[in-house]
Chains A and B, each alone.
Chain A
């Protein structure tokens, strides 16, 4: 009991030291504010490419309807509306990635495809600087939206020309059947391989989607926690150099160092959990447990680097490199897949992969055990030297 009180007292004292600096408090407050601000901004129209939509003929009902449907799509493509005259210059100036121009008499041109007219002309033309993978992907979207109308013309033409040649097919009647028999249920359902037993599959459209711009946020937040630990390790080395810890018995020093390193990380972890709540991520007991475990893993990692570098200046010099390598190797911006070995050297990978995957928690513990043993071995080696 007395020991526990002592630990809490130390935690309080070290925290007091941190909070004594206003800039630390400002920084902690700034994190959720910045992320929340980014979330608000990410809700605005953004995407991996921008496509200008133009109708060659003003007042072309079908073309305008398709443009409207594309604009309303929840997509990673950003659509803007323009006219044919500006389309060429916008593409040339790289203001948009390409322009889709819906030709004059769009409906008739689409109809000509359904009737397999020999003189048919493509109802859409695409203006681009060069063709690439992203534009090909975008065209699947264009075809998908056009097809929802084209399917009707296919059906109408088939009935009129192939089945019911002798009697006219009424458009109103056929449209009514189209609406009556419309299939609205999704044919794709999503199942997560790591979901809990009993959790239902969800329709594809209803799955939770993060904005592309918000995808790296969680990763950056956990790198921030780790950085708090690394900065604490530098602080520790500086204090040690000044002889501040001379009174601590040698056998208790290792425990003290872990306690010292976790103080700033725990503060950051609270801020990160709060930020995740702001991002409307479901934060439950498990998430608190995972983040606490992550703080523990980071403490071991930072301690290893502390022993390895020996001096605060050395650790400081390695930090930019470490950050760059982590930003590339860990699944923060790019996920090279679980097969990429380089990512497993850094704690953020374990947190990001353990977020919803219980199996990864075990690897997290194993990783810290290996690092912990490495730290002990290295410090013994240093003492021996």
Chain B
């Protein structure tokens, strides 16, 4: 027992020696993370204040129909909530698009409305940049498709009516009927909110976006943090393990001692992050509604409950260290696994964005279980199954590491 204590003590000394340097980094890292959080939250807040993207509109809007159409479009809830449409000259629009101040602009050709009435269909040009790809563009695509469908269906109705009248030899009614049907159509579009009725049930037990990303970023940090301990744990030379083995330090003991030391280091860092986080949170004015309703005792409990997750992630990362034997590979394996797992577990995009197969798969991944565990802890739900899964994962990772070390020692 004494010799094991000595070995664990040595490992702890090794990691604690690096702690001050890592602590400074952790604090800087926490600041970076909280700044990132703030950007996300501010962006979200902007969306709540009804402006996601800026879109320009170019062309002569003096035509009464067109002017009214644009006003209706600008003030409709769906458009207003997504985009701020601003009328401008083409030169200005090009400059703003190049400078990235607007996402796109629409060029309405002269005589556009007349062309619609006459069935010629002058095209509206949607000018954007090839490099613009992102959620804003995706949303605008949806909107433009819906508007385009509405305009063409309105035209269909008008042309069908006109053809019908012509075929029935009622040409004298054409002009008045066209104008009246146009008014009916405009009225229908204006009153479209009457077509549906809302039944709001009220928010039930689920995490807010802030709460979701709070948990996601904690997990993402833990996963990426594995990179900076590559130097401590990636070893090309296994002779030290052989010597230890010869002196009676068995492989399971070696692995568990290293895991314990790494866990302590990770835990110390998590403590620093949370303390720094609380400071930055109040400084930056970030509000996480689920966190705010917890009293200080419950907040401390939330931190204590993170221990099983920290153990599992530590076991996962020490397994990755065991798999590689050089710094380059260590860094790359940590990065690929951290970003890959974080991505499909819903740390970067909400998991609900993913196809059902991925959502189901994420539920069985260690990171998926870990994220669910954090979320349930934050919303004070029962986490029995998650604790069981994480225990099994930890045993599996440590077991795999023992086997790999054994293989490496024999192989060498």
Contact = CB atoms under 8 A, between A and B. Distances in A.
B153 A147 contact: yes
Given A174-B164, A187-B148, 16 more contacts: A21-B329, A77-B142, A125-B199, A133-B47, A144-B145, A147-B149, A151-B185, A194-B130, A205-B145, A227-B335, A317-B25, A320-B225, A324-B224, A335-B134, A337-B101, A356-B131
Given A92-B201, A150-B188, A317-B22, A192 B130 contact: yes
B228 A320 contact: yes
Contacts of B380: none
Which of B22, B50, B127, B328 gathers most chain A CB within 10 Å?
Answer: B328
A232 interface: yes
Contacts of B131: 194, 331, 352-353, 355-357
Nearest to A110: B195
B17 to A, nearest CB: 11
B356 A45 contact: yes
Nearest to B154: A151
B340 to A, nearest CB: 6
9 closest A-B pairs by beta carbon, nearest first, are A338-B100, A144-B146, A44-B355, A181-B159, A356-B130, A155-B157, A337-B100, A231-B331, A231-B328
A248 interface: no
Contact of A143 (B33, B146, B330): B146
14 contacts: A48-B135, A48-B353, A137-B143, A140-B78, A152-B157, A190-B127, A191-B126, A231-B327, A234-B327, A234-B331, A320-B228, A328-B36, A334-B134, A337-B100
A381 to B, nearest CB: 22
Nearest to B225: A320
Interface of B: 18, 21-22, 25, 28-29, 32-33, 36, 39-40, 43, 47-48, 50, 52, 76-79, 81-82, 94, 97-101, 116, 119, 121, 123-136, 138-139, 141-165, 167-168, 170, 173, 177, 180-181, 184-185, 188-189, 192, 194-204, 206, 220-221, 224-225, 227-228, 230-231, 323-333, 335-336, 339-340, 343-344, 348-349, 352-358
A286 B78 CA distance: 40
Interface stretch (A4-12, A56-64, A162-170): A162-170
A136 B146 CA distance: 13
Nearest to A143: B192
A376 interface: no
A181 B156 contact: yes
Contacts, number: 379
A292 interface: no
Contacts of A186: 123, 148, 152
A375 to B, nearest CB: 21
A36 interface: no
A188 interface: yes
A209 to B, nearest CB: 7
A323 B338 CA distance: 11
Given A44-B356, A324-B224, A331-B134, A163 B201 contact: no
A136 B78 CA distance: 5
A307 interface: no
Contacts of B355: 41-42, 44-46
A255 interface: no
Contacts of A220: 339, 343
B194 A122 contact: yes
B155 A139 contact: no
Contacts of A367: none
Contact of B200 (A27, A42, A130, A183): A130
A120 B357 CA distance: 42
B376 to A, nearest CB: 14
B320 to A, nearest CB: 10
A251 B323 CA distance: 38
A142 to B, nearest CB: 7
B129 A146 contact: no
Nearest to B344: A38
Contacts of B156: 151-152, 178, 181-183
A229 to B, nearest CB: 10
A312 B161 contact: no
Given A128-B201, A194-B130, A324-B224, A46 B78 contact: no
Interface string A10-21: 000000001001
A316 B334 CA distance: 12
Interface string A97-127: 1001000000000000110000000111111
Contact of A169 (B164, B195, B231): B164
Given A151-B185, A193-B98, A204-B144, A333 B349 contact: yes
Contact of B119 (A131, A155, A183, A205): A183
B214 to A, nearest CB: 15
B100 A47 contact: no
Contacts of B330: 231
Contacts of A173: 164
Nearest to A139: B78
B328 A24 contact: yes
Contacts of B97: 193
Contacts of B358: 41, 46
Contacts of B331: 227, 230-231, 234, 316, 319
Nearest to B330: A231
Interface string A25-63: 001001100100010011011111110000000000000
Contacts of A331: 131, 134
A146 B357 CA distance: 31
Contacts of A47: 353
Contact of A76 (B138, B323, B343): B138
Contact of A129 (B153, B200, B336): B200
Contact of B332 (A27, A128, A147, A184): A27
A352 B129 CA distance: 12
Contacts of B225: 320
A141 B142 contact: yes
A224 interface: yes
Nearest to A146: B195
Given A126-B199, A317-B21, A164 B168 contact: yes
A205 B145 CA distance: 7
A195 interface: yes
A184 B151 CA distance: 11
